[in-house]
Structures are given as C-alpha cells and as structure tokens.
Chains A and B, each alone.
Chain A
Amino acid sequence: MGKKLRHILTLSVFVAALGGFFILNRAVRTPDTLEAERRQPAAFPRLTAQTLLSGDFMRGFEDFAADSFAFRDGFRSIRAFTVLEVFRQSDKSGLYRDALVGAGKLAPVAESEVRRTAGKLATLAAALGEMNVYVSVIPDKSAYAGREYPGFDIEMSRRILEEALPDARYIDITAALDAGSYYKTDLHWDQSTLEAAVTALGDEMGFLDSASDGASMFERHTAGEFYGVYKGQLALPMPPDTMIYLTSAITENAVTRYLDDKTLEWTAGEIYDLEAFAGRDPYDIFLRGAQALITMENPEAETARELYLFRDSFSSSLAPLLLPHYAKITLIDLRYVDFRVLPSLIELSPNADALFLYSSQILGAPDILKIG
C-alpha cells in the first residue's frame, strides 16, 4: 500500500505542477511592465510561416514563456534565496549582497579593454587642444565592500590612464568615497555624500577658491524612498534607499539646457526633474537621466571658468555640486553623441577645463564611447 500510495502521490504532484502551471500561465495576466526588472515583458511572437521557418517564433516564445510565467517575481526570489542562502554562493550571476555596500554587481574589467578606452580618451584629449585636461575614475562600490570581490583594479586603470594621457592630470577620488557613498540598492553614488569627492577634484583642478563656502551652501531635500536597479535584479527583500538631492541659490537660478538628440533642438529645463522620481529609474531626477548634451550656466558665478565634463550617469548627480565653481558646465555623454559631431552642436572654448570622469563599467567597455 505504501509504495502504491507513494507512486500515486508522486504522479499527482508531477501532473499537478505541469498541468497547473500550464493553466495558470494562461489564466494569470502578464503585467504591462516587469517593475522589478524595469522592463517590458516579451510579447507573444507573431506566428507566420516565415517566423516559424526562421525560428524567430520559437525564440520569441521562449522569452514570452519566461516573462509571462505566473508568479515570476516569486520564483526569481526563490532562486536568489537558493543561490545565496542555500548554496551560500557569494553572488547570483554576478549580483551580490554585501553587509557594507548592499547589493552590487561583480565588475571584472579586462586590462586590454581599459587600454582601449584609454586610447580613445587620448584621442579625445588631443582633439581638445589647449584645454586643461583632468581624468578621474569612479570606483565601483565593490571597492568598499565588506569582503573582497573580483572586480575592478583601480590602480591598474590609473597606471594605464596616466601612460595614455601624459599631459592630463589624474585625480584620485577613491579616498574621498566610502561604502556609505553609494546607494545600497543601486550602482550610483548618493549626491549627499559627495562633498569630499568635490573637494578632491577641486584641490587638483584649482577651483575651490572660486566659491566662498563650497558644498556647505547646499540645502538637503528628500525626494523619498526608492529601490535602485540592483534590488530588482537581485530579487531579494532589502530596505529601500532614500533619495536626497541638494539645492542652493546657484542651482535654483542656473540656466540649464538639454539637447534633444532627435530634433537637435535645445530646450530649457530644471536641474532636478522631481517627476522622474516616480518613473522607472528614480536616479533620473538628476539632470533627466540619460542625455547626450547638457549645459548648465551659473549667472551668479564669480569666475569665467568653463568645464567640459565628459561623463556617464554618475556625473548627473555630481555636476550640480561643481556649478558654484564654474560659469558654465557642459556635460557630454559620448555614449549618446559622437565626438566628431560635437563642433556642430556646441562651441568648444579653447582655455576651458575638461574632466574625463568615468565609472569602472565604462572604462571596461571601450566600444560604447563614440570617439572617432
């Protein structure tokens, strides 16, 4: 009887699981957006003779089947729990949860890729002529984690950048940051912790004297609690981060313009886009997120200095803190605009400062930068 019952139970479990999810997957409505993963689910693919023969239908269906699976987020959490708590692995497909820095992503960067990026930046520096060129690297948060993760070797990148850019000044900001400088659920740094980084940059770039009271002139505001990109990818419970942004009379009165990279028209806007906080990526409140070109002018500036900030998303939150020290800052994201077309979009002042400020992810992905 025991064996027979066992067989009946095993068969029932198997059939119920397969049949149950076959029905559930049809019955449970797929959400319009996979909120945790910040993307839209794959749609049911078009079924035609051509898509069948080419295999496009099958590939599309595989994505659809995974994205529309009932209780998808719950299953993703079960996997994360199994990997990190049961198997005690240090990361789940590269995503880790650290006591000091929270959720992070392994970011191993090949030396050869850094060399290629450095070569591109050297081309860029040469094209900037007489400008005062500075270069700095934003360390990945894993550099401050409670344990050692295989990742980015910042000393290696420094050596390569100094070799490739002999006329540029390398600015080390690693000591100006710590585990608390980054959001726990996101890859970015927290604007409210960047005073030391601004000082480190100012010391080398010589701009600290031009503003009387530096970062302390800023007023803190709380946009609210939020989850960064790593929370959704990790799929485990975590306390939310708090988004703080800093304003001052200078940021309030600044004239900020954004280039629409489709129409090539400039439009005026605010430095902080508070509506973006409720959007897919709350970090977009800083200078509207991904933008090819932005100019920020400081009408109250006591200097005529200009800065060209060649940057990635980290600089969106840093740039407002640099504004008191410059008359104009132009933020250039070479992932979205080719350097060769820049002269047709902006006029480059020959004696300005130029800061190449990139995170380790960008240094490890040279192909992403459109420089020549």
Chain B
Amino acid sequence: MLFSSIEFLYYFLPIVIALYFIVPARGKNLVLLVMSLVFYGWGEPRFLLLMAVQVLSGWVFGLLIEKYRGTAASRAMLIAALAVGLGGLGYFKYADFFVSNVNGLFGAAIPLPRVALPIGISFYTFQILSYDIDLYRGKTELQRSLLNFAAYVTLFPQLIAGPIVRYADVARELSGREHSVKKFAEGARRFVVGLGKKVLIANVLGELADVCRTSTEKSVLLAWLYIIAYAFHIYFDFSGYSDMAVGLGKIFGFEFLENFDYPYISKSITEFWRRWHKSLSSWFRDYVYIPLGGNRVKPTRHVFNILVVWFLTGFWHGAGWNFIAWGGYFAALLLIEKFVLGKVLERLPAFASHIYLAVLVLFGWALFDAPSIPEALRRIGMMFGSGASSLYGASSLYYLRSYAIPLALAIVGSTPLITRLARALEKRAERIITVLEPLAVAALLVVITAYLVDGSFNPFIYFRF
C-alpha cells in the first residue's frame, strides 16, 4: 500500500489511528503489528511469510546471542543471523543478477530463477541486522518480547521506503512511549507536508522526467530538463516518504531520526552524503566502514574501505551494474575530494561550489536512472550535445514553459528557505501561525486528495531497493 493513495489515507489510516488510540497502552504494539502486516500484505501478500521468517530468525538469534554472551557461540549466532538476513536479501534481490552475469561471463545458459523482489526487504533486513549486531556489541538490550520486536521490524511508517530505523534508537519507545496532542499535531503536519512533497512536486516532476525520457526530440535542453526533473523527483519523493514516516512515527509516539537535510544546498559531494539518506550512510558507516578500520588505517586500506562501502551502497540500491557504477562514481568523487580537492573546494566561492555539486550529482542521477551504463553515458553526452540534433526543440520549450512553476517550487523547496520563513513567522506572528497552520494542512489535504482521486502519475520508485 502506498502512503500516497486513497486506500491508505482514507481507509487504512483512520482505522489504525482509531484502533491505536482506543486500545490501552499494552495493546498498542499489537495494533501496530497487526495493521503493519495488513499494510505490507496489501501489496505483497505472498511475501508475508518471508518477512515472518526473517523477523522470527532475527529475534531467535538475538535470544541466542544473549544466551551465549561472552562465548564463541554468541559470535556464531551473530554470523548465523547475518547469514540468514543477508542470504534472504541476496537470494530475493540479487539471484537473477548473479545468474545473468555468470551466464554472460562464462557463456553458460543457467536459467534465470526469476525471483520477485519483495518490497522493503532491503530496509527491514538492515533493521533486523542492526538489532542483532548492536545486541552482540552490547550497545542495546535484548528484546524478549517477540511482539515488540515484530512491531519494530514491521512498523508500517518506515517499512517500505525507510528511513532505516535502528532498534537501539526506538528500543525504549517500544516498551512505552508518550502520546500528546502536540506530538500528534506535529506528526500530522509533517505527514501532510511529506505527502504534499510526494504528490504535488515529486510526482509532477516525475511525470516531466518520464515525458522527457521517452520523447523523440533529441535536444540538449531536453536532456538537461530530464535530468533536473529526475533529480528533484527523486529528492522530493524520497524525502517526502521520510517526512511521512517521521510524521506517522510521531503520531504513534515514536521519534525517528531525520533522513534528509537539504542535500542539494551542499557545496561538496562529501557534504551531500552527510545530508542524503542519512540512515543508510550511517548504517554502512557503523556496520561496515568502522569495523573495516575506517580511516584509522594505512591510506591504501582506507581507500579500500571507502570503495567497499560505496560498492555496497550502490549495490543496495538495485541489482544492476549501473547502481554499482553509481556507487563507484561517488566513491571516486569522495576520494578525490578527500585527497586532492578538499582545500580547493573550501576556497571556492559559494556559487561555484554549488554548481560543482549540482553538475556532479546530476551525472550521478543519470547513472542511477538509466537501464544500463551505455545508456547513462548517452544521456550525459546528450547534455553536452553529443548525439543531439539541436540545442532545443518544440517539445523541450513546451515542457520548460509548462513545468516552470513546479520546477521553481522544487528549487525553493529543496532549500531551508520555507522552513526558516515558517520559524520566523512563528516567532513574530504566533497568532497568524495558529490559524495558518491548520488552514494550510486542510488546504494541502484537499489538493492532495484531488490529485489522488483523479489518478494522476504516482510511481513507487523503491521497488528495486
């Protein structure tokens, strides 16, 4: 089920909220678990069993890690937990990729297993692993309740599109959490803002990217229009989903960590990755990079560690060489910034740094979105005239005019400007905000509902994650 759907907004969510606040505190996790299973089963009924197996194994291995703490068996249990979690992820996400590459490399003809990818498997696998690893490291306590553990893993606000909520971050809230009018209202506002970002900006610019991608016009302007639209589409889609997750979490008493921090205002790739999909970056940092030695090793080993992390980051996003290349591309840029450009970038004027960041990130999105590396290179080439038949054409001019306001909104919305204005207004004109906020929430809900009822373009971009 998508957050940006009528069935979620006007059927599922009212029922969950009503049930959740009717039942006493001890029943709230059960309500969340049952309704999360309904939420997941709505789109993927056949994968409920797989998720149940992964949840159960993560929890049982947790019990065993704790039982054998201080012995080699505890480590063996952690390795087993990793094997089951990553094994499931590897099979369901990467089996076809591996077989097709083996076939290509050795001229074999092994039939493709044609395994369907369960939605959200990358997110919930990493959440389960975070629990078992942190438990082994002594950084979190054992969760004896299977109900609470299952409620954590399956928690519908962050189940299919993140952020990756670590068990340690919500362990206390799973046992008991505070609910208040303030938290509910803040959560509702955040959810509606996130939904607005998804439906009114991400989907609209996704439609533009789609039109440009399939257009028969081969012009430089169309190539730029496509990649800029795609860059804003993916940002507003992903950060919108994270806002909705954080908002829904608040409504139900949880405090999830922020996942995005205006990444497009960054002045370097290093800064960009501190602001983009923070929950994934910090997961790889804490569970891969630092265990490998991080930066406290010889330079060659340090480079190796960075390459491993970015290979995994790319591969996590999808089973395809373009995703691996995308990870490798950012690894290369980060290494260049770390060892060569660091000082230079600091001295650059702000506008030059922003342009540097924007162009490199756009190239990255071309790699990310393309079905293959040659196609990505073709698209990047077109941005500079290679393969283009003109600078612009009737279609590109039409779509540039048509999407000028959504693009302008996206540019402004990807900076902290609106948040700062809202905060300033809150300080100086509290009475206005008192009326304005609920009105804005109501107006946004009306317009969002109108878009959903009318069946506008509404893609789910995380099906490959």
Contact = CB atoms under 8 A, between A and B. Distances in A.
A89 B403 contact: yes
Interface string A128-153: 00000000000000000000111000
Contacts of B5: 62, 65
Given A93-B207, A235-B454, A22 B10 contact: yes
Nearest to B443: A13
A6 B454 contact: no
A15 to B, nearest CB: 7
B454 A7 contact: no
A2 B431 contact: yes
B412 interface: no
B398 A149 contact: yes
Interface string B288-303: 0000000000000000
Contacts of B406: 87, 89
A206 interface: no
Q: How large is the interface on A (under 10, 10 to 19, 20 to 34, 35 or more residues)?
A: 35 or more
Contact of B438 (A6, A61, A90): A6
Contacts of A62: 5-7
Contact of A3 (B17, B430, B438, B441): B430
Given A15-B17, A89-B406, A82 B434 contact: no
Interface stretch (B93-101, B186-194, B268-276, B352-360): B186-194
Interface string A79-121: 1101000111111010000000000000010110000000000
B181 A5 contact: no
B107 to A, nearest CB: 33
Contact of A2 (B45, B430, B450): B430
Nearest to B403: A89
Given A2-B431, A18-B10, A69-B6, A11 B453 contact: no
Interface in A3-36: 3-15, 17-19, 21-22, 25
Given A52-B45, A90-B402, A150-B398, A25 B453 contact: no
Interface string B171-190: 00000000001101110110
Interface string B243-261: 0000000000000000000
Contacts of A239: none
A13 B11 contact: no
B445 A17 contact: yes
Interface of A: 2-15, 17-19, 21-22, 25, 52-53, 55, 58, 61-62, 65-66, 69, 72, 75-80, 82, 86-91, 93, 108, 110-111, 148-150, 235
20 contacts: A2-B431, A7-B184, A11-B184, A11-B185, A13-B441, A13-B445, A15-B188, A18-B17, A53-B46, A55-B43, A58-B42, A58-B45, A66-B452, A72-B453, A79-B456, A87-B204, A89-B405, A93-B457, A108-B215, A148-B398
